Amino acid sequence: MSSPESEPPESAPEADTTMPVDALPVVAPQLRALRRRASLTLEAAARSAGLSPAHLSRLETGQRQPSLPMLLALARIYGTTVSELLGETVADRDAVVRSADMEPTAAGGWTYWQAGAAGRGMQALRVHVPYGSQGDIVRVHPGEEWLYVLEGRLLLRLGDTTHRLPPGDSAHFDSLTPHRIAAQDPGGVELLFVHTLLQSPTATLCLGPTPGEMS
């Protein structure tokens, strides 16, 4: 938290607007709880939302009223909805996801199938990683990841160490460890993937290509 020194003039995104006062007792604890669930420090969350840490701290303690743009930004950063930020009751989610309901989604050359309910603290996916796709991208972000190789062989770089995982092998690691994921075989690799990365802003997930390739 920032020291009690005078703060610079607050920019437009931090302006207080339409949120009613009687919503604050619910919003304040939710903001703090969801930030912690996303494994974000006060400073990191404030920076991503374009706020000062002191301002976000006052939102979390109920000393300030959040504006709707502020809530939208924080919901995106925490991987949740404005409704959850407001403490509204979420309808019960189905515990079972049928294979017929898993629609493929392509992103960055990979293909994803949602294998769990949206909005949970963890996200479960089935992932196809094609050969030569995103193997030079280093990822660093808050959270944890667990993966299990279904088909093909995976090249997993954790820090300075490269691991080769055949079908049946798995890995569980802290996502703040710089990591790269690539398929070793021309046919690509199929993974089961459980993670918390959807709780992080997209911009923090990839630091971009780095020189060289995975050995």
Task: Please determine, for residue 17, whether its predicted confidence score (pLDDT) is greater than 50.
Answer: no
pLDDT band of residue 114 (cuts 50, 70, 90) is confident
In angstroms, the CA 138 to CA 125 distance is: 20
The pLDDT of residue 118 is 66
Q: Is 107 within 8 Å of 113 (Cβ atoms)? A: no
Question: 53 vs 29, which has greater pLDDT?
Answer: 53
On average, the pLDDT of the chain sits at 77
Query: How far apart, in whole angstroms, are the C-alpha atoms of residue 83 and residue 168?
Result: 39
Adjacent-strand bridge partners of 106: 111
d(CA 117, CA 125): 10
pLDDT, tens digit, for every residue of 61-96? Answer: 888 888 777 888 888 888 877 777 776 655 556 778
pLDDT at 6 over 70: no
Beta bridge partners of 145: 173, 195
Residues 197/175, Cβ–Cβ less than 8 Å: yes
Distance CA 28, CA 65 (A): 9
| pLDDT attached to residue 99 | 81
**Tell me, what amino acid is at 214?**
M
Give the HSE-up count for residue 83: Cα atoms under 13 Å, Cβ half-sphere. 5
CA–CA separation, 1 vs 55, rounded Å?
Answer: 10
